[in-house]
Amino acid sequence: MDSVIKELSNINKTFEKHNEIFQNILDVIKKPESKVTRILEKFVLIAGVLGILNAAEIIRSWITGG
């Protein structure tokens, strides 16, 4: 039983360390300053997704021969 308690304690300590690391990462990540920046980020994201979908469509047409 003591070994189980020690293992659980080690797991808990590991989770605490990970939480600290993730919190540091979130603190470092810069948040958008304005609505314009957020809108532009969304446009870029949509354009990227559409580009990937277009590339997938081209590959699909190569494979199917059409």
Q: Are 31 and 37 in contact (CB under 8 A)?
A: no
- pLDDT at site 1: 78
Q: What φ, ψ does residue 65 adopt, rounded to 5°? A: 80, 20
Which alpha helices (DSSP H) does the chain contain, by range? 2-28, 35-64
Q: What is the mean pLDDT of residues 4-11?
A: 84
> For residue 66, what pLDDT is reported?
65
Q: What is the pLDDT of residue 30?
A: 76
**What pLDDT score does 63 carry?**
87
Closest Cα partner for 52 from 63, 62, 60, 42?
60
Q: What is the pLDDT of residues 13-56, one digit of tens each?
A: 888 999 999 999 888 887 767 888 889 999 999 999 999 999 99
Nearest to 41 by CA among 32, 51, 50, 29: 32
